[in-house]
Amino acid sequence: MKKISLLFSAILLSLSLASCADSTGTNVSSTAKFTYNADEIAPNTVEDVVNATYDSVVSVKSVINSYSYSSGSGTFIGYDEDLNLSYVLTCYHVIDGGASYSITLSDLETSLPAQLVGGDPANDIALLSVEGLDYTYATIPEESSLRLGSQIVAIGNPLGTLPGSVTSGYISYLDRPVVSEDYRTMSLIQTDASINQGNSGGAMFDMLGRIVGVVNAKYVDEGVEGLGFAIPIEDAMAVVNSVLDTAKYDGSTWSTKGYYVGAYEFGFSLTDAASFFGSSYVVVSGVSNNSTTSGYNSFMLYDEVRAVSITKQDGSTIDISFTNSQSLLQQLYNSNLTIGDSLSFTIVRNRVESTVEFSICQFIPQ
């Protein structure tokens, strides 16, 4: 399996923040509406598909602070008449770390403030909401008909500066296992359509004008072209439905962000450091202040990781053998961790060895 790069156009990305505080509000999943359609829309050329779907795709901007932001794409996929809200599907890495969000419609002039409904980093899916109902919504297939060689159309915002760009190509592979930059393995649609930074979150349409994928990655290497990837729409909608089941709206804001049930995020990041003697060791390079991340408030920057073990809920234990941060993270993500499992880290902090223990907990976005 090849490691791929998630696509984003950004100056700086930061850790997602969240709160475990109890919130009041109204769950909204029962009132959300999506269009599932197999044959009422029947384009059969790229031009037909673009005419039928173009206005459903938007540009997404995530403002991190006064001097940094990330840009990507998104797609209107549904609405809620009772709340007067419309929902925009995008990739989690497009909005990760954002303090505020906005979308720009296909006319390239109308910009609207957006709120984060919720999402799941592991599946790289996020959902935004904007006020109003007068938008074009993508049609979702009841069952994917994609096959090897199927033609598709991708619409997005390459480089974060070329919104509304249309490309077309073919399905090169289905259910391709790929490893992302944070060492998670995802099962994605592979395509030869031109995919670039900023396309993330944009729509992949079949030749019936139905959204079949969410563009999220490309393979980046010298001399490599035509290796783009998208999240299957059925996987994306599983996250969307879970997000709407868990999100609460208080009449003006999302008082509780929606989340994918059973998903977790580590409250730390790791890297390799070199010693004076030429060897390397694993250190903590970042910590989260999201109290729903696993290991929240357990580590400090530059803690040295000496040993790691997992205790599953059935009492079985797994000792992780690692030589660098990459091998450690790969093994952690491939250990089928579930909510309630426990991790034990032997660390060295200020030349003193100690043990840090914590449980895997449900992750909730900020």
Six-digit token string for 92: 């989690």
- The pLDDT value recorded for residue 24 is 60
Residue 280 phi/psi, 5-degree rounding, is -125, 160
A 10 A CB-CB count for 99 gives 13
pLDDT score of 12? 30
**Joined tokens for residue 146:** 């994609």
Per-residue pLDDT reduced to its tens digit, 32-60:
888 886 555 566 799 999 999 999 999 99
Q: What is the DSSP letter of 3?
A: B
* Ramachandran class of 41: left when φ > 0, alpha when ψ lies in -120 to 50, beta otherwise: beta
User: Among candidates 289, 119, 93, which has minimal Cα distance to 182?
Assistant: 93
Per-residue pLDDT at 179: 82
Q: Where in the chain are all domains bearing CATH 2.30.42?
A: 268-359
pLDDT given at position 272: 93
Q: Which two three-digit tokens encode residue 165?
A: 């760009």
> CA torsion angle for 166, 3, 61, 174 (degrees, to 10)?
40
Alpha-carbon distance of 329 to 103, in angstroms, equals 34
Residue-wise pLDDT tens for the chain (366 aa)? 334 445 433 333 222 323 333 446 777 666 788 888 655 556 679 999 999 999 999 999 999 887 888 889 999 999 999 999 999 999 999 999 889 999 999 888 899 999 999 999 999 999 999 999 999 999 999 887 789 999 999 988 766 667 778 889 999 999 999 887 778 888 999 998 887 766 788 999 999 999 999 998 755 444 445 578 999 999 999 999 999 999 999 988 999 999 999 999 999 999 999 877 767 899 999 999 899 999 999 999 999 999 999 999 999 999 999 999 999 999 999 899 999 999 999 999 999 999 999 999 999 998
127 closest CA partner among 289, 246, 7, 228: 246
* DSSP structure class, residue 321: P
Class of domain 5-259: mainly beta
Q: Cα separation of 189 and 183, whole Å? A: 18
pLDDT score recorded for residue 21: 38
- The pTM of this model reads 0.87
State residue 184's pLDDT score.
82
Helix, strand, coil content of the chain in percent (nearest 5): 10, 45, 45
The reported pLDDT for the residue numbered 36 is 82
**CATH 2.40.10.120 residue window(s) in the chain:** 5-259
What is the full DSSP assignment across 27-71? E-GGG-EEEE-SSSS---SHHHHHHHHGGGEEEEEEEEETTEEEE
Class of the domain covering 268-359: mainly beta
In the prediction, which pLDDT does 43 show?
A: 64
Residue type (1 letter), 273: A
Q: What is the DSSP letter of 159?
A: G
Number of residues that make up the chain: 366
User: pLDDT at position 240, please?
Assistant: 96
- Specify the amino acid at residue 252: S
CA dist 86 to 131, 213, 241, 242, 337, Å? 6, 19, 14, 17, 34
Cβ 142 vs Cβ 38: under 8 Å: yes
